[in-house]
Amino acid sequence: MKLKLVAAVLMTALVAVSCGNCSQKSDKPVYLDENQPLEARVEDALSRMTIEEKVKILHAQSKFSSAGVPRLGIPELWTTDGPHGIRPEVLWDEWNQAGWTNDSCIAFPALTCLAATWNEEMSALYGKSIGEEARFREKDVLLGPGVNIYRTPLNGRNFEYMGEDPYLASVMVVPYVREVQKNGVAVCVKHYALNNQEALRHEYDAVVDDRTLNEIYLPAFKAAVQEGGAWSIMGSYNLYKGQHVCHNQYLLNDKLKGEWGFDGAVISDWGGCHDTDEAITNGLDLEFGTWTDGLTKGSTNGYDSYHLAYSYLERLRDGRASVDVLNEKARRVLRLIFRTAMRTDKPFGSLCSPEHYAAARSIGDEGIVLLKNENDVLPVKADARKILVVGENAVKMMTVGGGSSSLKVQREVSPLDGIKAAAPEGVQVIYERGYVGDVSGAYNGVVTGQDLSENRSADRLIKDACAQAADADMVIFVGGLNKSRHQDCENSDRLGLELPYNQDAVIEALAAVNPNLAVVIVSGNAVAMPWVDKVNAVVEAWYGGSEAGNALADVLFGKVNPSGKLPFTFPARLEDNGAHALKAYDPKSTVANYSEGIFVGYRWAQKHGIKPLFAFGHGLSYTDFTYSEASSNSSSMSGNGTLTVKTKVTNSGKLAGKEVVQLYISDDESSVERPVMELKGFRKIALEPGETKEVTFTITPDMLKYYDASTSSWTLEKGTFTACIGSSSEDIRTKVSFEVR
C-alpha cells in the first residue's frame, strides 16, 4: 500500500536530515506545503535528496509501482492499466491476480466507440468517470488513453485507439485528459509514437518522412500535451531512426520536451527499455517492466538491475553520467508525484457507481454506428412477436482478454441479455449459436466462468439457426471479432480482413431465409462484408464494456436514435488500404516503411478514387437531415485572419435525432501534393423533428497549413481553398470556396 500523507508529514515535520549531496535544512520543508508553487516544492524536495534516492524513484519497485522517498515522506507512485477500466490488482512481481475481492470495476466502451461518438462531451464524461474509478482505487497514473493512428485494419490494438484521422483524435483526447486529471490521477498518453502495428512490435523500425510524422502521427499526442496538459507520456515499443522510442533523442528530447514544452514524465512501456546509456541521455524518466517478473536477473531485488537503477548509479559515481541530467529526470518524476500522490485536495472518487454505469451506457449509445438500414429493418418493429438472436458474440464476455486492457468487471451485460431485457412483454427471444469461435474465457487469472463448449458441427449450427429464422419476425446476428490472438488483441495482428469462424456462411444462410436480418458487428476494426448486398441492416457495435448489451438494445429497439459515425474507413478489400496497396505493411519485417505517406484512410481512398465499403465519418440515423447551402462571411482571408462558414441543418424526418456536421477543407492550388480534403471541424447537434439549427465553423490559418519538411515548419500558401460540409467524407452536402491572400 502507498504511504499516507499523514505519515509523510510526521516523518518530515522536524528536520530534514543532511546526507550525500543534500543541503542542511532546519526549516519546514517547502515541498510539504501545497500553498507553495509547484516548482518551488519540486526544487526543495530535489535539494534534500541523495543521488541514491534520486535514482531510486526512476524505476519500478514492483509490477505497477515505483518507489518514493520514505525518509522525506514522499510516497510511491501506483500505476494502473487502462484505458477502458481500472485493471484488477496483481501480485507484486507477476501479472497474475492478487486475489482481491474488492477490485472489480466498470468497463467503459473501447476508445474506438468513444471516437465514434464524435462528441467532446462524451469524452469529458468518459475521463471524469474512469478518473473517479482510478482515484477510488488509489491509483496515481492511468496508463491511457491511446491515440495511435489507425494505419492498417490488421493492427490488433486498433480498438484501444481513436481512429485514422489526426484531427478527430486530437479533439477527442483533450477532454478525456483534462477530466481524468481533475481527480488527481495522471493520464499516461500512449503509445508515443508510430506504434501502428503489433507484429514485431519490439523490433520494427518505423521509416516515415517528417511531413507524414508531423501531419498524421503526432498531432493527437501534441494536443494531449499542449491542450490537455497531460502529466505523463508512455514511450512505445518500436524503433524510430534506429532507436527504441522509449529512449529516443528526436521524439522525446527534441520534439516532446523541446518543441512541445512537455513538463511531465516519460514512462517506458513495460519491457520497452533496452539500453542504459540511451535511457540516461535520450529522454526516459521512469522505467517499468524491463524484466517483467522483476527477479529475472537473480538479484536480491531484480528491480535494482534495471537500466535506470544500479547501472545508472555506477555511471553517476564514476563521472560517466551527468548529475544535471539525473536532476532533470528526478525533477519530472517529483512533479508527477506532487501532482498526484502528494495532493491532499483530491476527491475521494467512486467505483461501480450508478452514475458510472449510466456514463458507460450513454457513451455506448452515442458510439454505435448504423452502417446500413434498407427497407427500415431497424428499429425492431413493435409488432414483432419472435426475435431470433444468432452468434457467439451475443453471449461471449468481451471485457476479459485482449492484452493489458483486459478487466475484471462487476458485471457485463451481453447483447442477448440486453435484447431480452428490452423486448416488450410477450415477445419471444430465442438464441442460436450459429458458429463457434473462441470458447476460452480467462486472462491473467481473471476467469469469465462461461461454458461456451459446443458439440454440434458447423453445418448443424447453421441449419438449426436457419430453422428458427424461417418464421422469426426479426433475426439479429451478433458476430464480428473477439479479444483472442490474431483478432483484436495486443501483441498480435490480424491475419486478414475477413470475419473468422465461418461467419460469412452463417450470415449468407440467414439472409436467404429471412429478409428482416440485422447484422451486428462487435469489433474494434473494419471487417470485410462479402454479403453486404444481401442483408438489409448492418450495425457496428464496438466493444461496449459493462453496458454493451443495454446500449445495443437501446439502438436496435429505437429507444436511442443512432448517431455514431465511423472514426476510420471500412475498405471493401484489404488492398484498398494504402499500407497494403503498396505492400508497406509486412508483419515479418523489422523495417516498417510508411510509404503511403500522408495518405492514410480516407485520404488514400479519395486520392485514388476508391469507393470504400463504408466511408470515414459515415453513420445513419432513423431520421433524415437536410443541409442548406453554405455561406461564408467573406470570399477571402488574410494569412493572419479568420473566416466563418455557416450552414443550416434541419431534421426533416419524424424522430428526434443527432447529426454530426463535418467540415473538410480542400487546398485547390497547392504547390505540394495534398489530400483531396481533410477533416478540420465537426459539430454534433440534437434536433427535434422539423427543427433547424445553424452550424458555424471558424476557419483559421493553422487549419490550412501543411508541414514543410525542408524548413521544419508549418506553411500556409495563398490561393483557393474549398470548405466542404457534409454528413461523412463521402457525403458532402454543400461547399463554399474562398481565397487566402
- CATH number of the structural domain spanning residue 36: 3.20.20.300
Phi-psi map region of 397: left, alpha, beta (phi>0 left; psi -120 to 50 alpha)? beta
Q: Is residue 600 within 8 Å of 578, Cβ to Cβ?
A: yes
**317/418 same-domain check:** no
Place of cell 459515425: 565
**48/162 same-domain check:** yes
**299/403 same-domain check:** no
Rounded CA-CA distance 450/205 in Å is 41
Predicted local distance difference test score (pLDDT) of residue 595: 98
- 584 belongs to a structural domain: no
Burial of residue 728 (number of CB atoms within 10 Å: 0-12, 13-18, 19+) = buried
269 as an active site residue: the answer is: yes
Place of cell 462479402: 530
pLDDT > 60? residue 155: yes
User: What's the structural domain count of the chain?
Assistant: 3
List the grid coordinates of 480.
Answer: 464480428
Contacts of 700 (CB under 8 A, 6+ apart): 642
**558/504 same-domain check:** yes
Q: In Å, what is the CA distance from 456 to each residue of 438, 721, 736?
A: 15, 60, 60
Q: Is 722 helix (H, G, I), strand (E, B) or coil?
A: strand
Predicted local distance difference test score (pLDDT) of residue 2: 44
Residues β-bridged to residue 592 = 206
Q: What is the CATH number of the domain that holds 703?
A: 2.60.40.10
Mean pLDDT across 140-169: 98
Nearest by Cα to 624 from 596, 656, 585, 651: 651
Torsion of CA 147, 150, 152, 156, to 10 degrees: 50
Predicted local distance difference test score (pLDDT) of residue 255: 98
Rounded CA-CA distance 57/331 in Å is 10
Mean pLDDT across 350-358: 98
Rounded CA-CA distance 262/278 in Å is 19
List the grid coordinates of 156.
Answer: 490488433
pLDDT > 90? residue 414: yes
Of 304 and 190, more confident:
190
pLDDT > 50? residue 25: no
**157/73 same-domain check:** yes
The residue among 319, 339, 359 that closes a domain is 339
- 436 belongs to a structural domain: yes
- 348 belongs to a structural domain: no
Rounded CA-CA distance 272/235 in Å is 8
pLDDT category of residue 14 using cuts at 50, 70 and 90? very low
Predicted local distance difference test score (pLDDT) of residue 300: 54
**291/154 same-domain check:** yes
Q: Is residue 544 within 8 Å of 551, Cβ to Cβ?
A: yes
Predicted local distance difference test score (pLDDT) of residue 616: 99
Q: Are strands 517-522 and 474-480 parallel, antiparallel or unpaired?
A: parallel
Catalytic pick among 140, 165, 205, 269? 269
First and final CA of the chain: distance in angstroms?
62
Rounded CA-CA distance 402/490 in Å is 6
Q: What are phi and psi of 553, to 5 degrees?
A: -65, -35
Predicted local distance difference test score (pLDDT) of residue 302: 83
Rounded CA-CA distance 716/204 in Å is 34
pLDDT category of residue 195 using cuts at 50, 70 and 90? very high
pLDDT, tens digit (0-9, with 9 covering 90-100), for 251-300: 999 999 999 999 999 999 999 999 999 999 999 999 999 975 545 554 55
- 218 belongs to a structural domain: yes
List the grid coordinates of 352.
Answer: 461501480
Rounded CA-CA distance 193/283 in Å is 14
- 618 belongs to a structural domain: no
- 317 belongs to a structural domain: yes
Rounded CA-CA distance 218/48 in Å is 37
**124/77 same-domain check:** yes
The residue among 502, 533, 568 that closes a domain is 568
Nearest by Cα to 263 from 327, 174, 335: 335
Predicted local distance difference test score (pLDDT) of residue 639: 84
- 30 belongs to a structural domain: yes
Q: What are phi and psi of 739, to 5 degrees?
A: -105, 145
Q: Radius of gyration over alpha carbons of the chain, in Å?
A: 26
Rounded CA-CA distance 690/684 in Å is 17
Mean pLDDT across 88-99: 91
Q: Is residue 236 within 8 Å of 190, Cβ to Cβ?
A: yes
**316/374 same-domain check:** no
**397/318 same-domain check:** no
Mean pLDDT across 554-560: 98
Q: Is 19 helix (H, G, I), strand (E, B) or coil?
A: coil
Predicted local distance difference test score (pLDDT) of residue 28: 81
Mean pLDDT across 353-373: 98
Q: At what angle do helices 354-367 and 548-556 cross, to 10 degrees?
A: 50
- 552 belongs to a structural domain: yes
Q: In Å, what is the CA distance from 418 to each residue of 342, 343, 415, 425, 486?
A: 43, 41, 5, 14, 28
Nearest by Cα to 522 from 412, 660, 359: 412
Q: What is the CATH number of the domain that holds 478?
A: 3.40.50.1700
Predicted local distance difference test score (pLDDT) of residue 296: 55
Q: Is residue 429 within 8 Å of 387, Cβ to Cβ?
A: yes
Mean pLDDT across 228-255: 98
**374/447 same-domain check:** yes
**640/714 same-domain check:** yes
**98/137 same-domain check:** yes
| pTM above threshold 0.85 | yes
Domain residues for 633?
625-740
The residue among 568, 594, 610 that closes a domain is 568
List the grid coordinates of 447.
Answer: 476467469
Predicted local distance difference test score (pLDDT) of residue 211: 98
Give the chain's mean pLDDT.
Answer: 95
pLDDT > 90? residue 502: yes
Q: Is residue 238 within 8 Å of 205, Cβ to Cβ?
A: yes
Mean pLDDT across 581-607: 98
Predicted local distance difference test score (pLDDT) of residue 27: 66
Nearest by Cα to 729 from 606, 617, 620, 577: 617
Give the number of residues written for the chain.
741
Q: Is 344 helix (H, G, I), strand (E, B) or coil?
A: coil
pLDDT > 70? residue 433: yes
Q: Kindly report each contact of residues 177-180 with a partner whose C-beta sits within 8 Å and lies 24 or more positions away, as own/partner.
A: 177/127, 177/145, 177/224, 177/228, 177/229, 177/230, 178/124, 178/127, 178/228, 178/229, 179/123, 179/124, 179/125, 179/126, 179/127, 179/128, 179/131, 180/127, 180/128, 180/130, 180/131, 180/134, 180/142
| HSE-up of residue 151 (Cα within 13 Å, Cβ side) | 31
Mean pLDDT across 397-410: 97
pLDDT > 90? residue 667: yes
